[in-house]
Amino acid sequence: MRITLDDSLLARYPKMQIHGLIARGLAPDRLDARPFTGWPAVDANQADRVIADWKVLHKQLSGDKRSRCSIAWLVKAAASERLRRIHPLVDLYNQASLRALSPFGGEDIQRLGGALTLTLAHGTERFVPLGQPEVIEHPGDGEAVWLDGAGQVVCRALNWLESDRHKITETTRDVVFVSERPCAHLPDPRAGMDWLAEQLAGVVETLSAFRLDAETPDYQLTP
């Protein structure tokens, strides 16, 4: 499997960094046995500044103008006690996201068709919204999207909308987690990714961390 920052994306966002973690060989029974430690407390002033920066960025992402960073929703939902548990892996990357104040996402590797690429859309790519498996949509021309090996959209506007086809489910055994950092003044996701790795250390067979940027735009996952 190959994970790539495409040249077209880097031309628009030359400072883009992707921090990632690959977890393979998940043991569901061990994962289910882990206690849930709750949602991390967030510094409200810092969160407000981060969300404001992301709002500015999302106005540049093209596509649907309603798009926003997942961290904005997470912070608001956690503060109002509306953030619900979904799946142990999803809960963990949401916890990591709140800890780092950086957007985190996770996808089932077996559903990606051998590739995961962050690029700019042409507007013709197919996207199946989360929870709507019979619906086909298309990103905006020039929208920053993650694509799978077949060229279908995994996530729109960086982290705004996830595809139903690539989501984590009860059958998931291999996962790739990513967090985007388009510019240096946004929080560094590494602490959150390190925390996530610590939580998964006893429930998966292997863990591999990676980072992509303009100097290192590709990562090859060996079999």
Domain with 156 in it: what CATH number?
3.50.40.10
User: Is 65 within 8 Å of 168 (Cβ atoms)?
Assistant: no
Which residue, among 80, 73, 19, has the nearest Cα to 51 in the 3D structure? Answer: 73
Total structural domains in the chain?
1
What pLDDT sits at residue 147? 98
Q: How far apart are CA 63 and CA 82, in angstroms?
A: 28
Which residue, among 132, 149, 26, has the nearest Cα to 89 in the 3D structure? Answer: 26
What pLDDT sits at residue 159? 87
Q: For 55-108, what is each residue's pLDDT tens digit? A: 999 888 887 777 888 999 999 999 888 999 999 999 999 999 999 999 999 999
CA distances from 167 to 32, 194, 215 (A): 18, 22, 30
Domain of residue 143, residue span: 2-220
Which residue, among 162, 211, 185, has the nearest Cα to 46 in the 3D structure? Answer: 185
Q: Which residues pair with 176 in a beta bridge?
A: 22, 107
Share of the chain above pLDDT 90, in %: 90
The ranges of the chain with pLDDT < 50 are: none
Which residue, among 191, 178, 197, 194, has the nearest Cα to 16 in the 3D structure? Answer: 178
User: Is 70 within 8 Å of 103 (Cβ atoms)?
Assistant: yes
Q: Tell me the pairing of strands 161-162 and 206-212.
A: unpaired
